[in-house]
Every structure is written in C-alpha cells, then in structure tokens.
Amino acid sequence: MANLKDIKRNIKSVKNTQKTTKAMKLVSTAKLKRAEEAAKKSREYATKLNEMLSEISEKINKFKVGGSTSRFFDANDNPAVVDIIFVTADKGLCGGFNIQTIKRVKQIMAEYEGTETKIRLRAVGRKGIDYFKFQGTELLEKDIGVSSAPTYEKAQAVVQKAVDDFVNGESDKVILVHNGYLNMITQEIKQVGLIPVDTVKVDATVAESMMEIEGEEEEKVLDELVRKYFEYNMFYSLIDSLAAEHSARMQAMDNATNNAKERVKQLTVQYNKARQEAITTELIEIISGMESLK
C-alpha cells in the first residue's frame, strides 16, 4: 500500500492542476466569445466580397471576347509548383486542433507525390513550424505571432508573398488550409484553392443586375478586387482559426478538469483505504502488545 504522505501529496498536486485547467477553460471561454463574434462578421464580409468578385469576373468573361487576361483566373491542371499556406496555433494545450491541420497538409502533399509537381510550404503558427522542422521538411516561409493575434496588416503581409510569387511565375497554384470554427464544440478543416480563383458561376437573373464598369477599367478593377479577395480570405482564415483554437482549448481544458476531478476521487479512495489499513495495523499492534503483557 502506498505511503499516506505520497498519496496526500498526489491529491494536492492534482487539485492544483485542476485549478489551473479550470482557469484556462474560463479564459478560453471568454476569448472564444470575442473571436466567435469577429469570425461571424468576417464571414459575412468575405461572402459579399466573393459574390462581387464572381459577378465582375463573370461579366468580363461573358461579354468580353477572350475573357479576362488576368493570370489569377487561368486554371492549371498540371501545376509545376504548388504553394500551401497553412495556419496552426502558436500555443498548445488545445487537443488535436493543430494536428488536424497538419494531417490535411500532409494529405495534400501525398496527392502530388510521384508527380513532377513541387510543393512549397508557407507556415503560419509555431506548432506547425515546430512539427515540420522536427520532421526535417523545408519551409519556404515561417510566420510566428500571426495566428495568435491576427490583424488585416499581418494577413496582407503573409499572402502578399504568395501572390507575388504567383504573378512572377514562381508558383502555379496556392492552397490555403486552416482548422475553422463550426460551433462551440466542433472544428472543421477548411481547404481553399486560393489562386487561381475558382469563381462561382452566377445565374442569368444575377448577371442582368451586375454593376456597370467602364471597358478600360475592367481589368484594373478586377485586379484590385481579386487582391482584396486574397487578403481578406487570408485574414478570415486567421480569425476563423483563432476562434476554433479557443473552442478546442476550452474543450481540452474542460476534459482535463473533469479527468483531474475523477483522479482526485480515485486518490481519495486510495488514501482512505491506506489510512484504514494503517489504523487497523496500529490496533493489532496495540492489542498484541497488551496480550504479551498478560
């Protein structure tokens, strides 16, 4: 039977851990509410931006001979170089949140394995960087401190490097991967073919109501809009990922707190049994001593 002092020390240690995990859960819950609200607002804006981009590009492709001349819309079924931008957290203690994103990135890499396509990784978040560094995988870009405190300027700086490489012909496709927020208890891996743009076709009724753009301004407007599309999709992925991270950490800390509570119960039972055994042993020794004096 374990020593009573050791069991008591273990109970105290587990209780301290329980207090920590409970506090972390409360902090994550508070942060989640703010991140969730930001994600909802960003999602609405991103949806409207995507709709506008779809309308303008559809108008150009439908009414202009030869369609758009922008490389951002040139589909490439056999890309020579594919860039993957993936977002993970800067911190751990959030269950399988980060590993799910990493698994999807490895899955995409496996899809191109055996082909002549070169994969380049652009990592956002310390956890993803540390994982691939440990695996010996080369990373083209490494950004830390972006996913934990996302801003539009940071998102713009991250995606601009990938856009510039695409425009300069150094890459043929850009894929964006992140673990997104679905609800309080569920996260969802999201994969977007960011560049080239895969626009959603609009129906005839929508096409008739499209905004009017001067002919000489069409390509200029489309180029500016598509760049905003890239930047805001990057920004939204950071906001969405942060909300999912807080959600995952809240769940992980809740599970840890419950496990600690259960462990305290088990140790308490063990302590009581050990204490009872110690008392019984002492009584036997007293009775034995008394008997020997007779």
pLDDT(102) > 70: yes
Please state the length of the chain.
294
Q: Which pLDDT value is given to residue 235?
A: 92
Weakest mean pLDDT among 82-91, 113-122, 198-207, 228-237: 198-207
pLDDT digits (tens, 9 = 90+) for 196-237: 886 554 443 444 444 555 555 666 777 778 888 898 889 999
- The alpha-helical segments, DSSP class H, found in the chain are 4-63, 97-111, 126-135, 152-167, 204-208, 218-293
| Residues paired with 174 in a beta bridge | 83, 195
Cis peptide before 79 (omega within 30 of 0): no
Q: Is 84 helix (H, G, I), strand (E, B) or coil?
A: strand
Percent of the chain scored above 90 by pLDDT?
50
Q: Which pLDDT value is given to residue 201?
A: 46
- Give me the mean pLDDT over the 34-63 stretch: 72
What average pLDDT does the chain have? 84
pLDDT digits (tens, 9 = 90+) for 128-182: 999 999 999 999 999 999 999 999 999 999 999 999 999 998 999 999 999 999 8
Rounded Cα gap, residues 190 and 104, in angstroms: 9
- Give me the mean pLDDT over the 13-33 stretch: 91
22-252: CATH topology: Pyruvate Kinase; Chain: A, domain 1 (3.40.1380)
- Residue 19: CA count within 13 A, CB half-sphere: 5
- Cα separations in angstroms, 178 against 5, 208, 245: 48, 36, 11
Q: What is the reported pTM?
A: 0.81
Label residue 85 by pLDDT band (50, 70, 90): very high
Domain positions in the chain: 22-252
